[in-house]
Amino acid sequence: MATQKITIEPVTRIEGHAKITIRMNDDGTVDHAYLHINEFRGFEKFCEGRLLSEMAYITPRICGICPISHHLAAAKATDAVLGMTPPRPANLLRELMHMGQIIQSHSLHFFELAGPDLLLGFDADPAVRNVVGLVDLDEGLTVKAIQLRKYGQEIIAALGGRKIHPTFVVPGGVNKALTSDQRDTILEGIEQSIATTKVGLDIIKNWAAENKKDIDRFAVFPTGYMSLVTPENGLELYDGKAKLIGSDGNEIVKFEGNDYLDHIAEHVENWSYLKFPYYKPMGYPEGSYRVGPLGRLNVAEKLDTPMASEEHKLFKQLNDGKPVENTLLYHYARMIEVLFCIERVQMLLDDKDILSTDILNTKKDFKGEGVGMLEAPRGTLFHHYKADENEKLTMVNLIVSTGHNNYAMSHSVDMVAKEYINGHEVTEGILNRVEAAVRAHDPCLSCSTHAVGQMPIIINFEDTAGNIVKTIKRD
Amino acid sequence: MAKPKISSDWLGGCSGCHMSFLDLDERLLDVFALTDIRATPITDLKHPDEDGVDVGLLEGCINNSAHIEVAKMMRERCKILVAFGDCAVFGGVPAMRNFFDLDEVMRCGYINTISTDSEGMVPTDPELAVPQRVQSLNEVVKVDVFLPGCPPSADAIYYTLTELAQGRIPLITGDYLNWH
């Protein structure tokens, strides 16, 4: 029975609303470490009774880091409920906006959030280990990184009027066509964006080579992985079937968004407000899997753009074609995806239909129920709605991307705690490991949120009477 | 004169206001030059300095016990408190849940949702914050500057921060004042 408790709070700087508790046994070993996600808002209930067409505008407020994920997943679910089919140009434009979002979200995380760790070092002074410190270290690179995120944000703004919580999708299409001037402006930014992304790739490759020992020791464990794929099992971010692979890399199942309930269920733990999705036939927790950049590049057999394809081949060699299990290599996978998205932007802008004004199909064949599924920056996102004939919602179910990684994050924390804590001495190094276990997954817990850099931590050792016997603190 | 210290945090929000701050892009360097950015979600320090900061920004509504603690600490430690964005100003989209019974909202999320398995339950672990009726920031602590918007535009944020950094209370009007 656990007789002592260690609290790590806040884990806020990853996300805002998480903390870790470690229950200790009498002999100083770890009984169990818990990652508590400490926020609940209740969108599924309070969207009931709203109009379907509002969902693409309410649900982005789940997350301001990747609002486009919810904007587009809501649009897809709404189209499905209403039986509306957007014309091809509308889907191209929606995907273009999605690419803008992944570029901005990934580059934000890579440079501005994880970057201080990678470039300044995990052991740098916390007072400077942030984006301000990056400016002092390398202003030129920081400005380029800022401009890469800006590039993604400006694609979003060109289509939706503004960068965060834009207004673009409507049932059956989008509300505005792309102008040739806008297309040309976006095209002009491609070259510099690719150059910055390649710098990022060099940074992470060098970092991985220099820190191989840590990477191989740190929260490496087998799980399944899930991602959308093209019909030929290539990487797909906007539309396609979901594919789940096992820890050996072999396909377990491939399914349409409409059938997700046959394959995915969510478990609740009393100690977290974030649910734990799992592959239903295998049960919880055996059916847990991971999503996001690492999951996607593990699932995808190929990337259908030239430069990203070459990078993906190198990535696949890391574990001889088997899934790459190293949690810290999420950062590497993330940068390859940025390259893929910029190349997709080029392909979309070169498409003959991209400037078409055939952007809305008002023909309706009311179904009453529908699912929208896509790859948000952090993983597969599901919106499932039911509505009455007045188009008022009667049921809403959301499975957000970070949720899929919940078990993996919790397990990483538990693993790291059990491996490194023995006896009542807890060193700073252990705190570093514990926080990195969470951050590498790039949790977006308010769909969620990010934080940057290092988590400030206070650990209190309490005796069985609840008295604090020792405190370890790092601001 | 020492650079004014700025600290921020997020409560029950989507972090979009902080993302809009990052949308200052190259102007971030101006803000970094003009101010001393202390504890925020994008830096590594934990809490606002014990000996105080000049400006505190809080994004998001108050929707649980933990938010109240964070809001009170920020209020105690900052001279000027900014309600940053619609959720902090008046509750925003998250306040839509006040139209429902809170227990019902919780049961929906953790028991009745269609993908939740048969072992669903409303989490009650004492380690978790206790949810409550959604409130705006000024229902809990005194607010000095209200900066609405979902999110406030980068221009509005730049104006607000640079005014505060130069010791002036910003007048949020015209293009800087929006509620969407």
Q: Are residues A461 and A362 in the same domain?
A: no
pLDDT tier for residue B2 given thresholds of 50, 70 and 90: confident
Choice among A75-79, A99-103, A109-113, A401-405 with the minimum mean pLDDT? A109-113
Total-model pTM? 0.92
Residue A212 CB burial class (10 angstroms; 0-12, 13-18, ≥19): exposed
* Residue ranges of domains in chain B: 5-95+133-176
> For residue A428, what pLDDT band results from cuts at 50, 70 and 90?
low
Same domain membership, residue A196 and residue A307: yes
**A333 and A422, same domain (yes or no):** no
Element (DSSP H or E) covering residue A276: strand A276-279
How many whole angstroms separate alpha carbon B136 and alpha carbon B150? Answer: 14
pLDDT: which is higher, B48 or B144? B144
**Same-domain status, A325 and A383:** yes
How much of chain B exceeds pLDDT 90, in percent?
83
Predicted confidence at residue A6, as pLDDT, reads 67
Domain termination residue (choose one: A344, A378, A404): A404
pLDDT at residue A9, rounded to an integer: 61
User: CB–CB of A38 and B129 under 8 A?
Assistant: yes
Nearest chain B Cα distance for residue A354, angstroms: 27
Please state, in angstroms and rounded to a whole number, the distance separating the CA atoms of residues A298 and A247: 10
As a whole number, mean pLDDT of residues A275-297 equals 94
Q: Domain containing A360: what range?
A: 43-404
**pLDDT higher than threshold 60 for residue B64:** yes
Min mean pLDDT across A44-53, A178-187, A267-276, A441-450 is at: A441-450
Look at residue A2 in the predicted model and tell me its pLDDT. Answer: 53
Which comes out higher in pLDDT, residue A40 or A342?
Answer: A342
- Of the candidates B83, B71, B60, B74, the one whose C-alpha atom is nearest the C-alpha of residue B14 is B60
**Selected residue of B9, B42, B118 to mutate for chain A interface (largest A Cβ count, 10 A):** B42
Residue A106 DSSP class: H
User: Which chain A residues have a beta carbon less than 8 Å from that of B10?
Assistant: 16, 449
Average pLDDT for A184-205: 96
Do residues A85 and A151 both lie within one domain? Answer: yes
CA A429, A433, A436: angle at the middle one, nearest 5? 135
Q: Are residues A166 and A52 in the same domain?
A: yes
For chain A, say whether B131 makes contact (Cβ under 8 Å).
yes
Tell me the shortest Cα–Cα distance from A353 to chain B, in angstroms. Answer: 30
Range from A167-181, A317-331, B41-55, B112-126 that averages highest in pLDDT: A167-181
Task: Reply yes or no on whether the pLDDT at A466 is more than 60.
Answer: no
* Domain end call among A351, A371, A404: A404
> Cα A73 to the chain's mean position, in Å?
14
Q: At what angle do helices A330-350 and A306-317 cross, to 10 degrees?
A: 160
**Model pLDDT, residue A473:** 54
- Whether pLDDT at A374 is above 70: yes
For residue A387, give the CATH number of its domain: 1.10.645.10
Which position has the higher pLDDT, A405 or A76? A76
The band of A1, judged by pLDDT with boundaries at 50, 70 and 90, is very low
Please give the pLDDT value at position A455.
Answer: 41
A432 and A360 in one domain?
Answer: no
Q: For position A444, what pLDDT does the model report?
A: 57
Chain A interface includes B138 (CB < 8 A): no
In CATH terms, B5-95+133-176 corresponds, of 3.40.50.300, 3.20.20.120, 3.40.50.700, 3.40.50.1970, to 3.40.50.700
Q: What is the pLDDT of residue A13?
A: 41
Within this chain, do residues A289 and A369 fall inside the same structural domain, yes or no? yes
Helix, coil or strand: residue A390: coil
Judgement on whether residues A376 and A450 belong to the same structural domain of the protein: no
If you average pLDDT over residues A22-31, what whole number do you get?
Answer: 80
Cβ neighbours of A113 in B, within 8 Å: 42
Write down the pLDDT at residue A449.
32
pLDDT of A461 above 60? no
Query: For A173, left (φ over 0), alpha (ψ -120 to 50), or beta?
Result: left
Phi, psi of A228 (to 5 degrees): -75, 150
Whether residue B13 is predicted with pLDDT greater than 60 in this model: the reply is yes
Task: Report the distance separating Cα A201 and Cα A195, nearest Å.
Answer: 10
Q: Are residues A100 and A181 in the same domain?
A: yes
Q: Does the pLDDT of residue A467 top 90, yes or no?
A: no
pLDDT 10s digits, B136-172? 999 999 999 999 999 999 999 999 999 999 999 999 9
Contacting residues of A for B125, CB less than 8 Å apart = 36, 270-272
| Contact indicator for B64, B129 with CB cutoff of 8 Å | yes
pLDDT score for A468: 58
Confidence of residue B1 (pLDDT cuts 50, 70, 90): low
- For residues A293 and A437, membership in a common domain is answered with no
∠ at Cα B138 (B28, A455), nearest 5°?
Answer: 45
Which B residues 52-81 touch A at CB under 8 Å? 63-64, 66
* Closest among A113, A126, A26, A123 to A65, alpha carbons compared: A113
Q: Is the Cβ pair A64, B151 closer than 8 Å? A: yes
Cβ-Cβ contacts under 8 Å, A164 against chain B:
16, 19-20, 23, 151
Average pLDDT over residues A284-299: 95
One domain for residues A450 and A361: no
Domain boundary among A404, A434, A464: A404
Give the count of domains, chain A.
Answer: 2
CA distances from A409 to A202, A205, A293, A406, A440 (A): 27, 24, 15, 5, 9
Residue A445 is predicted with a pLDDT of 42
Q: What are φ and ψ of residue A273, in 5° steps?
A: -85, -5
The DSSP line for chain B is: -PPPEEEEEE-BS-SHHHHHHHTTTTHHHHHHHHSEE-S-TTSS--SS-TT-EEEEEEESBEEEHHHHHHHHHHHHHEEEEEEESHHHHH-TGGGGGGGS-HHHHHHIIIIISTTB-TT------TTSPPEEEEE-GGGTS--SEEE-SSSPPHHHHHHHHHHHHTT------GGG----
* A88-107 vs A139-160: helix crossing angle, rounded to 10: 150
How large a percentage of chain B has pLDDT more than 70?
98
